[in-house]
Structure 1
């Protein structure tokens, strides 16, 4: 979960030397050095077409993008700033040092500081955190049982989903960071009954169909569909979906025929109407169009959205949730073998694999194909500790905790960071709502409390009556069934309450009351007696922790871009889940994008190595030179961090052949680098080298054996 507080969502990049003539700011009530000035450099981002070779396939980039290319592109700076020993100051440069302030020590801020420390030349980075710890909502607490045994309670996110089944490559940032920190071998893949998931409806747990295609699972699913009221309306929904799919395919085929006819007549290709992707609608409205009725929305889909966003299916935007690629495909039909991706996601693997950790990223990403969940023995605390310890080793990084930033004011072409005056915040950003979640951790010494329903946990949809869910719980995680570390035997649960269901509550429960409410939830839903002996429990109210990307989200950010530009004159950049995508890994991607944009003074590819004669991007430049093509694509990370919201979606969301994608569950065997035993496949170290005169990459891959 990610905080919505301004000091944890804003990343202000303040660039220039401190001067005697600068005004002073106040941080945490204490006089601080003058607020430095911020300037930005802008550059064009090159895009390109992928190529298939005899030994493997590069991720595909639509040919349409080539029409807007420009070969005039700034040369990237050196790929890495030498690390300085702790306490040793870098030699002064002829240029005055840049001062970069990162506001907020959550996961976005930590990742931003992580990459700035490595790649922002001649810069001093100060990380401001209002609380007493780094990591934002990622926090753990060690509780003790009556016998003195230690139990780890995870207060926020504790596991991550691999990107193996999605349309993004954000998880490559995680693998790159872990390689930088030397933590790649610390990844664990949760064991236990993680594949068994439940929905509570109407008054009991219903197991969702398993992806494992065994005879017992098939029979179990058939029995569930025939007997459980949760599936009422499924037959009608399936028939309506089939009819809707036929209409979408007909629309696609008509479009293809129009294109083919234009090509035959040697006429300009008919351009699709860009407005079809500009509309917005809620998840419920979209699925109602597709399924023809809303029973499955109320009884199943809304539960999924409770678990991910804590949000309302009738308010969350379809194109800003997990349904995004389906929504875009419904609006602008493409081949069944294609998947919609944002252009910035298409090119991320090129950038990351051209970086210093290409081999390690490939290894970790291919391991992730076989696993849905990623964690560490202590949840995600290893990641937070690793980032904090690493930042403390850099002489150009300063961390200030207990230093809340309450104001950002633009004056005299500078941004003043203060805590004693009113902020010039964007009205549109203040309209981005967030929900509050109450997290209650519980541990019972009785290890058999979940014996009847082992699994990952259950979610509670909006269709459940208030009588069955007066606390307005969102779901319950079965922590003891998802093992990441050895602990005292028992039953460990996490009860989540609130979200959008508490929006109209005048008063929120305190922690003691929350524990009692959680006991009522597990008694009613799981049959766990409130008098069960040995209970250890604690609660935490996560206020405004999950941003809500409701209908009109992109329009709000569009306006916010111009508001920030007007007020801060290009001196402020924002990043985080309030703007892009909710989740830990998307927050890491936001921190990476912002940091690398300011560190290199250019958009991606940040690790371009054209001048060195190696790198994934070389084939692109060589191909363009041979084809005499110019391309000009606007940057995806700019002076406010919101410029993507001002660009046409038709140019940013494009269909990509699934077979061309790396590190996915559907990636063909010939697209993998390692076999199931962790051996580098014969010839794969040459799969991205020169082929047919097109240099693609060398990737620094060696013949080694990797322990899985």
Structure 2
């Protein structure tokens, strides 16, 4: 809290804090009668560093490192090195297929044989040739100006449509990309907007000049501002540089260690009040006092606030406002995911398919996937790794006190979009479906299910779906929020920005700083850099681009051995102009 004089009230509908991030310790018994506990996790469980790619487009993970430092969690943070081999699989059409990775590249003959014989990779070589031709043609017709917001909206297309154009056919889209979208969003590859997914970095190629001078890199102005301000946090810089050599971060008990620590930190601050078990039932703009009136199930009499920030699902927000006030947000969609945690007392049941887990694409027939499983994570492989110094021994990187085979099954997603609430499998039915599906996929005998320990949670509307046209809808929602609440209501979270832990942290920072009037740029000027505005959605309505060319050797978090320099030396090339206050 940089301003303790401000009074803040946080409303939470449930009796616990942390949202979809949740974990549960369960007592189990091994085959030999030994007792122990295992930690079942729901929701996000890993943090993937974002600033280690060749071109640093996003730096949201820097805020994660800042939180880890401020909450004294650095010693609890677990990490996987970049060179750690965690194989990934796709189930198609009726068996697990390992995706090519660095380890397979060591056996080129085996790799070529796999690519030629596995139906999963049908059309791969033709797609590669067509992709190369398409990219070559685009490279020869580069636009020297970055597309405007309106241009981006006109170009918006689904992930499936975009890559079908690049590949010249849809085999890889149906068999591989749809599985990836299941794992990230639980969504339909033919409906999700490519501009709102990690593929956006690929879409940028061919849309702006690439013939930059040595050291030049495209960078968002908001990221530049973030870098300038965080570079003085030495511990954050240290953690970020260490993160360049890591492929993932987590905490032994799950990411709830982060949310629990944050809740404790805030509870110890004066001026912050938590009200749990109090879902908000009404939001009204009180024109007479120019404030927002908030009512809850426990507090029917409205209480007025100068500023309200909503992080709930957009459709839910529209439902607690006056009818017709936020029609665009009322049409929002989200995926419902059923998470089933399974623990088998026999260790290594999924071996030799050791790795991160497997995903199931949309092209798998209903006969092979009647349970509508999206994917399965091999939690035990990530948490228990072989000790290289002691053959036959394992290093425990989690909180389990006993070894076994621990899996997380994800079901539903866009497959359940048209089901009524009563048609979604209940807890008991979902557990039976998950056990049956995993046994069939892995080829296990039914007898293994006799000793399995299972828990489940239904995460209703947990992953907002950014369908084609998302930018235009958010632009319209920006206007509706301004008209209905006069800038007193702002929104943040997965319904608007990209879903996930890191985007949510970034969205929270941006909207909070705007609400508190913290607009100084990193060089100390009082020039306002408009990012989210009064509604949290200004970036969708912004009239100009927000990217420029910078010298990557001046980025203090790259870890390339360069001296700690700042990004003040803004490289203005190719006719680019300095960003305006709205840029």
> Per the shorter chain, which TM-score range?
0.7 to 0.9
Tell me whether 1:485 sits opposite 2:404 in the alignment. Answer: no
Q: Does 2:75 align with 1:185?
A: yes
- Matched position secondary structure for 1:149: strand
User: 1:74-89 counterparts in 2 under 5 A?
Assistant: none
Partner of 1:153: 40
Deviation at 1:274, TM superposition (A): 6.8
Counterpart contact for 2:139–2:206, Cα < 8 Å: no
Aligned to 1:306: 182
Residues 516-531 of structure 1 aligned to structure 2 (within 5 Å):
516-531=432-447
What is the Cα-based RMSD across aligned positions, in Å? 2.6
- What is the SS of the residue equivalent to 1:443? strand
Deviations 1:566-593 (A, max 9, x none): 1111111111111111101110111111
Any conservation in 2 of the 1:392–1:398 contact (CA below 8 Å)? Answer: yes
Distance change (3 Å), C-alpha of 1:445 and 1:271: closer
From 17, 36, 39, the equivalent of 1:134 is 17
Q: Which runs of 5+ in 2 are unaligned?
A: 303-319, 384-396, 570-583
Count how many residue pairs are aligned between Structure 1 and Structure 2. Answer: 516
Question: CA deviation digits over 1:508-544, x for unaligned, max 9?
Answer: 0001000011011101111233321421001110000
| SS of aligned partner of 1:189 | strand
Candidates 469, 480, 499, aligned match of 1:563 = 480
Task: Give the Cα–Cα distance (whole angstroms) in 2 for the partners of residues 632 and 646 of structure 1.
Answer: 20
Cα shift at 1:688: 5.7
Corresponding position of 1:208: 99
Q: Measure, in 2, the Cα distance between the counterparts of 1:642 and 1:239.
A: 40
Q: Hey, what does 2:321 align to over in structure 1?
A: 423
Q: Tell me what 1:679 maps to.
A: none
SS at match of 1:531: helix
Q: State the TM-score, normalized to the length of structure 2.
A: 0.83
Indicate yes or no: 2:251 matched with 1:376.
yes
Matches within 5 A, 1:166-245: 167-190=57-80, 195-211=86-102, 215-216=106-107, 218-245=108-135
Q: Which residue of 2 aligns with 1:512?
A: 428
How far has the Cα of 1:604 moved from its partner?
5.0
Q: 2:492 aligns to what?
A: 575
Q: Determine the structure 1 residue equivalent to 2:221.
A: 343
Correspondence 1:399 to 2:274 = yes
Residue 551 (structure 2) pairs with residue 635 (structure 1): no
1:449 to 330, 349, 366: 349
The structure whose RCO (Cα within 8 Å, separation 6+) is larger is: 1
Q: CA 1:647 to 1:655, structure 2 compared with 1: closer, same or farther past 3 Å?
A: same
| Structure 2 contact 21–44 (Cα < 8 Å) conserved | yes
1:333 to partner: Cα distance: 5.0
SS of 2:352's partner is coil
Instruction: Find the partner of 2:507 among 585, 590, 606.
Output: 590
**d(CA) in 2 for partners of 1:274 and 1:385?**
38
* TM-fit CA distance, 1:658: 5.7
- Tell me by how many angstroms 1:214 deviates: 5.3
SS in 2 for 1:182: coil
CA pair 689-345 structure 1, distance change in 2 beyond 3 A: closer
CA distance in structure 1 between the aligned counterparts of 2:150 and 2:511, rounded to whole angstroms: 29
Deviation, 1:142, is: 1.1
Do the aligned partners of 1:277 and 1:328 also contact (CA within 8 Å) in 2? Answer: no
Deviation of 1:223 after TM superposition, in Å, equals 2.4
Question: In structure 2, what is the Cα distance between the partners aligned to 1:304 and 1:330?
Answer: 24
Q: Does 1:291 align with 2:167?
A: yes
Corresponding residue for 2:572?
none
User: Which residue number corresponds to residue 125 of structure 1?
Assistant: 8
Contact 2:554/2:566 (CA < 8 Å) preserved in 1?
no
Aligned to 1:482, the other structure's residue is in SS state helix
Q: 1:233 & 1:660 partners in 2: Cα distance?
A: 43
Q: Residues of 2 paired with 1:289 and 1:239: CA distance?
A: 13
Displacement, 1:345?
A: 2.2
Deviation of 1:186 after TM superposition, in Å, equals 1.7
Task: Kindly report which structure 2 residues correspond to 1:46-85, keeping only aligned pairs within 5 A, or say none.
Answer: none
Could you tell me which of 412, 416, 422 is aligned with 1:498?
Answer: 412
Paired residue for 1:85? none
For residues 443 and 584 of structure 1, the distance between their equivalents in structure 2, rounded to whole angstroms, comes to 26
Q: List aligned pairs for 1:557-706, cutoff 5 A.
A: 557-599=474-516, 601-605=517-521, 608=522, 617=523, 635-648=530-543, 651-654=545-548, 661=555, 663=557, 669-671=560-562, 684=563, 687=565
* Matched position secondary structure for 1:160: coil
Q: Post-superposition shift, 1:276? A: 3.6
> How far apart, CA to CA, are the structure 1 residues paired with 2:327 and 2:568?
52
Instruction: Report the CA distance between 1:597 and its aligned residue.
Output: 1.8
Q: Distance in 2 between matches of 1:569 and 1:555?
A: 20
User: Secondary structure of the equivalent of 1:474?
Assistant: strand
User: Given the superposition, is the C-alpha separation of residues 520 and 381 from structure 1 closer, same or farther in structure 2, using an over 3 Å criterion?
Assistant: same
Distance 1:604 1:557, change over 3 A: farther
Alignment deviations for residues 351-395 of structure 1 (CA, whole Å, 9 cap, x no partner): 2224xxx11111111111111110011121211121111112112
SS of equivalent residue, structure 1 residue 119: coil
- The 3-state SS of whatever aligns with 1:137 is coil
Shift in Å, 1:143? 1.1
Compared with structure 1, are the counterparts of its residues 590 and 314 closer, same or farther at alpha carbon in structure 2 (3 Å cutoff)? same
Q: Aligned partners of 1:550 and 1:489: how far apart in 2?
A: 41
SS in 1 for 2:545: helix
**SS of corresponding position for 2:473:** helix
Distance 2:95 2:88 in 1: 13
Q: CA deviation at 1:494?
A: 0.2
Does the 8 A contact of 1:319 with 1:328 survive in 2? no
Aligned equivalent of 1:315: 191
| CA distance in structure 1 between the aligned counterparts of 2:275 and 2:364, rounded to whole angstroms | 45
Q: Distance in 1 between matches of 2:403 and 2:4?
A: 51
Q: How far 1:144 sits from its partner (Å)?
A: 1.2
**Structure whose residues are more often strand by fraction:** 2
- Structure 1 418/445 Cα, relative in aligned 2: closer, same or farther at 3 Å? same
